[in-house]
Every structure is written in structure tokens, then in C-alpha cells.
Structure 1
Amino acid sequence: MVQPAERDSRGIVDPAAGLSRFSLDRFAPSGHVARFVDRYWIVTWDLPSGQSYPQHVLPHPVVNLIIEPAVAVAVGVQIGRTTKVLERSGRALGVMFRAGGFSPLAPGPMTRLTDRSAHLVDWLGADAGRWADQVRAAPDQREMVAAAERFLRARLPIEPHPCEDATALVDRIVADPSLRRVDQLAALAGRSERTLQRLFAAHVGVSPKWVVRRYRIYEAAEAVAHGQDVSWADLAADLGYADQAHLTREFSAAFGVPPQQYARRQREAAQ
């Protein structure tokens, strides 16, 4: 079920501040498209002249297709934090695939797309350019999403695809906060850790260890953003960090400030 951003802000750095400057609407895919696509999202903003807002994002381990008024891009899994500077007014449609879900459309192994982006047509062909024009011309959000559904429904496979094994395992990681080590995931999958490494490299683009750490850090950020306590020492040990300081440094690099300062900033923004 697609949750509104106010209830699920994973990946949005400083969500309270950001959602006061732009609107973010999410829509669920349908039919066989839902096996590969997590959601459609539409961002709309209208800032006063001369003002801008840098929205930082810590991306999920997924591909996003993004259509804006002046550009249409395909963005592979991004390892670090990304930033989009919002200015004036605008509207963008995004297609957020499920982990591994872009693999049937990918021009090569997913590891080749990690930390890369390209014009939409470079990865999806000339038809993607015409699709982008349809989205831009759509009179409302419903028609924007409908154009995305038509484009993807014709291209994503109806038959089972090998990427869906990886998708199911990432779903397990997301759903089970106690899953914090790759050996646990391997045991659940009934596969060796090496087999999981190859599966994730082919279809997700990053390692299973990286995915586990990303989602556990998401959860920690969500907890502090909502005023909950987090045992950083326990989390660091469970995730295999050398010590709490290493986890704190990774959190700081991802969210811009240490955990305690991030929590304070969220409380202040919500007031």
C-alpha cells in the first residue's frame, strides 16, 4: 500500500521542512506493472521569486524515471545523498521502481547503472521521449499517471522474471527491522551469501549488505524524526560497524548532521 509522505518519509532529508515548501502526491501502480513499480510520485512547487529550496534525498536502492518540464532522466541506484534545488514553480512526475524492478528494461547488468543517470531515451529508446511529451501535456495528475501506466504496461513482462527473486528479498529486509545481517537473509532465502551477492549485483545494483544498512538507517532517521529513542550503539553493533562512531559518521554524511542534531532539527521544524 502506498503511504502518503507525511506517514512514510523514508529517504526525504528534513521531511517536515521540505513538505512545507512542496507537495508530494503518490499513486499506486496497477496490474502486472505493480510487480515492478513501487509508486508514481508527483512533486509540485511554487516558490516566491528569488527564493530557492535545496531538497536533499537519501535514495532507496531503486531506479527512478523523472519527467520535468525541461528534462526527462533515468536515475540508477544512488549510493550517496542527492540534492534537487527547487526554484520558481514546477511539476515533476517520477516513477519509482521496486528494488530490482527496472532490471527487465535495463540496458545491461544493474551494477552498470549504479550512481549513473541518463536521458530517458538513452535507456528506454525514442518512445520514451514521446511519453515524456505526453506527461508534460497532461492536464492533471490523473492523466500524468495514466500515461505512465500505458507506457510501462506495454514494456514490462507479464511472465515471471528473475529480478522478482531479488525484489522479494528486499521486501523482506524492508518489512523486518530485526533483519540486520546478510547471513540472516541468506538463511531465510535458503541460499548462500555468495549467491545473494550475484543476484543483487545482477538485478538491484548494490550489495545485500548495503541494502540492509540503508533501510535500517532509514528507520533510525524516521524514529528520531518522530521523537523516538534509538540505541545507536546497539544498531552499530548489529549492522557490523566497527563502533558507534562509524555509524554516526555515515548518518552525518547521509543527513548532513549527527543523529542528535537531526532529531532536534525535526522537532523544531514540526513546531
Structure 2
Amino acid sequence: MAGMVFMAHSMVNNGASVTIRYGRRLEKNDTPKGILDPAAAARRFQLRRHAPPPALAPLVEYLWIVEWDLRGLPASTQRVLPYPHAHLVFEAGLTAVHGIVRGPFDKALAGQGRALGLRFRAGGLRPLLDGPVAALTGRVVALDDLLGIDGTGAERHVLAAQGDDAMIAAASDVLAPLVAAAPADPRIDVAERAVQAAAAEHGPVSVAALAQAAGLPERGLQRLFRDYVGVPPKWVVQRFRLQEAAALLVNPASPDLAALAQRLGFFDQAHLTRAFTALVGRSPLEYWKSQRQAH
């Protein structure tokens, strides 16, 4: 998949996690989820997160800006574990709407560049579409084709802006008219609450448990996720549990993988190892060892 999509739980800035609210900045010490190998990632790029301006808030969860400067350095690849959210990304020559990526996402970084993305709320893209969000899963679609926006002009307008505030204002210029015209849809809130329930630490480890937490029947939850989120509830539950595993394996303490598998709802350690390796590219033990070396 082309383009730049950093679907991080929180941003990385010189090794620390930083959340930027609209108009103010809050420091945190959380290990970022979604971004693999966070210690090395902090040396490759800066990723800043901003709350949306009021005009975008009904449909957009936050905006992110990523910048990298590897001039004179070898190119590198950053792996991201995507979240169940669609993104609108402005990047030179690659501006598009990105549906949810089912597998890992690898982004090659070289030279110098920057991009701005808008992460939609879970279900937030649905009012802008003619059909279910699932129709976009695994796809990258030009703004002209999907939203009726002049993608070339929008890209030029956003990327010509200097500084985060100016880029955010330019992105709002592009999307705010569509957000204002979109009908209010209470199902967005229902979808968002269900995804947040899945994302909670020690969260549900089965679709039945997620349905109970969301207060919905399982079939209703399946329909909601297809129409508004874009992937099935089972995918969302397992993705968050695997992200939780990756975040825990940054800890230098020797991991008890059998206990971790049980905690996260996997049948056994072998099941966890297969799922983790397929997504991350390394076994849990190999990933833990790599993080010890990084520190």
C-alpha cells in the first residue's frame, strides 16, 4: 500500500510519548501502541497528534503530523499495527483516503518528508459514504473518486502550509464543508463506544464479551461493525489484544508467554506466537529480545 499512515495510539517524540490537544500540549510517559520498535522509531521520525478543530470533531478523532529527515542516512522501514480506523492522508503525490489495513503496514522512510493525516472516529467516515465502510477495507481511494474533492488542489493547499496549526487549518478548509453537510448519525457513537470497549486494557477477549460490554446482540454488533467500522468484531478484539502484547513486551522483565496468552484470550502460547509472528514479523520472544537490545 502506498502512502503514509502512522496509526499510533500516541505519538513518539525523542523517545517520549506526547499528546497534543487542540491549542495545548500534554506530556505522557505511556509506551505508544501500534508503533512497533518504539525506541528505534523515535530516531527515525517525529509524530505529533492534535485534537480536531470543532468543525471536524463530529467525524474526526484526531489529526497527526509526521516528519522525517534521513538525508545522508540509510532508508528504513517502519512497521505499524493498524487500528480499526480509516484515515485521510495528505502526502506529496499520495493524498488519499485509506481504509482499514487488515495486516501490518510497512512504510519505507527515505530522504526528507512530511504528511498530515486525519484519523476518523470509529464509524466517523460512514456519513460521507454511499455504502458500508467495509467496502473500503484494504483499499486506498483518491479524494476525487470517494469524496468529490479536488485531491491535487487539496494536497497543495495543506502541504504548502507552514507549521502544524496552519496545516490543520488548511485540512479543515478541505473537509469541514463535507462534515457540516453530513447528517447527524447516533450510530457513530455506538460504534465508537464498542471499539473503545475492545481497546480497553484487560478488555474483552471474545466477540460475545465485546457484545455484552457494548450492550448489543452479537448479530447486531456484526452488522454495526461491517457498516460503520469496516472490519468484523473478532478482528478488532484480536488486534487490540496483539497490540497489548506488543506493548507489554517492551518491558525489560522476562515475559511469561503462557500467562500472557491466557490473559489475552489465546488458546495457548503457541496460538499467541502464531498470531503475533504473522502480524509483527517476529515471535513474541524475538520481539522482546529486540526491545532489550534497543534500550
Q: Please indicate, yes or no, whether the TM-score normalized by the shorter chain is above 0.5.
A: yes
Q: 2:206 aligns with which of 157, 181, 192?
A: 181
Instruction: Assess if the C-alpha contact under 8 Å between 2:96 and 2:151 holds in 1.
Output: no
Specify the alignment match of 2:275 in structure 1. 250
1:222 aligns with 2:247: yes
Q: Deviations over 1:61-120 (max 9, x none)?
A: 111111112221211011101111111111111111222221112342111111111223
Change (3 A) 1:172 1:136: same
Q: Which amino acid aligns with 2:286?
A: Q
Map of 2:139 onto structure 1: 116
SS at match of 1:20: helix
Pairing partner for 1:172 from 197, 215, 218: 197
| Counterpart for residue 22 of structure 2 | none
Please name the residue that 1:24 is paired with: 47
Runs of 4+ in 1 over 6 A off after TM superposition: none
169-178 or 67-76: bigger deviation: 169-178
Identical positions, percent: 41
2:78 is the alignment partner of 1:71: no
Query: Counterparts in 2 of 1:1-271, with a 5 A limit?
Result: 3-5=10-12, 6=17, 7-31=30-54, 33-49=56-72, 51-156=74-179, 157=182, 159-227=184-252, 231-237=256-262, 241-270=266-295
**29-38 or 109-118: bigger deviation:** 29-38
Alpha-carbon offset, residue 34 of structure 1:
2.7
Per-residue CA deviation, residues 6-47 of structure 1 (Å, 9 max, x unaligned), is 335211121211210111111111326334222211111111
Cα distance between partner residues in 2 of 1:125 and 1:229: 52
The structural deviation recorded for 1:54 is 0.9
| Structure 2 residues not aligned, in runs of 5+ | 1-8, 18-29
Q: Which has the higher contact order (CA 8 A, sep 6+)?
A: 1
Counterpart code for 1:169: A
Partner deviation per Cα, 1:170-220 (whole Å, 9 max, x = no partner): 112222423222212222333211110011011111111111111111111
| Residues 116-165 of structure 1: per-residue CA shift (max 9 Å, x gap) | 11223221113444222211111222111111223333222473442321
- Between stretches 170-179 and 222-231, larger displacement belongs to 222-231
| Matched letter for residue 193 of structure 2 | A
- CA–CA distance in structure 1, aligned partners of residues 89 and 157 of structure 2: 13
| Distance in structure 2 (CA, Å) of the matches to 1:254 and 1:162 | 30
Most deviating of 94-103 and 20-29: 94-103
Amino acid at match of 1:112: A
Deviation at 1:236, TM superposition (A): 3.6
Residue type at the aligned position of 2:11: P
Higher helix share: 1
2:3 matched to which residue of 1? none
Distance 1:253 1:119, change over 3 A: same
Q: Tell me the distance in 2 between the aligned counterparts of 1:221 and 1:136.
A: 33
Local SS of the residue matching 2:221: helix
Inter-CA distance 230–112: structure 2 relative to 1 (3 Å threshold): farther
The answer to whether the Cα contact below 8 Å between 2:273 and 2:283 also exists between their aligned partners in 1 is yes
SS for the counterpart of 1:96 is strand
Code of the aligned partner of 1:214: R
**Distance in 2, Cα, partners of 1:242 & 1:175:** 20
Change in CA separation of 1:161 and 1:32 when aligned onto 2, cut-off 3 Å = farther
Structure 1 residue identity aligned to 2:90? I
Matches of 1:265 and 1:20, distance apart in 2: 16
| Corresponding residue pairs, total | 269
Output the amino acid matched with 2:131: G
The answer (yes or no) to whether the contact 2:10–2:33 under 8 Å persists in 1 is no
Calculate the aligned-residue CA RMSD, in Å.
Answer: 2.2
User: Is contact 2:92-2:155 (8 Å) kept?
Assistant: no
Q: Residues of 1 paired with 2:253 and 2:99: CA distance?
A: 32
